[in-house]
A = this chain, B = another copy of it.
Amino acid sequence: MENQASGETCQELQAALDIISGKWKPIILFHLLENEKLRFSELQRAIPEITKKMLTSQLRELEHNGIIHRKVYQQVPPKVEYSMTEYGNSLSPIMISMRSWGMQHLQRMEKMEVDSN
């Protein structure tokens, strides 16, 4: 027990990444951070390539992790709104610094393309 598996040496890193990374989570979070509330169908329109199945599963995971809130209106036809929780909003600093790093990275890549000519 005193000698942890290395995977656990940076559990915190993994824990954070498990929540925000993946094929769809970043863009879902992006939209929910920008929009306060979004219905299921609005998210689908915002992310046309995603399937219902994937959208549902990713939203469920985020909800389960306490990042987003799912509000169901008991009516027909159904209406469900998703929004960031207060806890979810605590991810903002990370998201912001990643976006700014990523932006610089994309510019750097672009520049390297050009320079290699």
Contact = CB atoms under 8 A, between A and B. Distances in A.
A48 B11 contact: no
B105 A101 contact: no
B13 A26 contact: yes
A47 to B, nearest CB: 5
Interface residues of A, number: 41
A97 B17 CA distance: 11
Interface in A8-28: 9-17, 19-21, 26-27
The complex is assembled from copies of this chain, and their number is 2
A54 interface: no
B21 A21 contact: yes
Interface residues of chain A: helix, strand, loop or mixed (majority):
helix
A77 interface: no
Nearest to A13: B26
Contact of A103 (B5, B12, B103): B12
Contact of A94 (B7, B48, B101): B101
Contacts of A99: 10, 12-13, 16
A90 interface: yes
Contact of A97 (B19, B31, B66, B93): B93
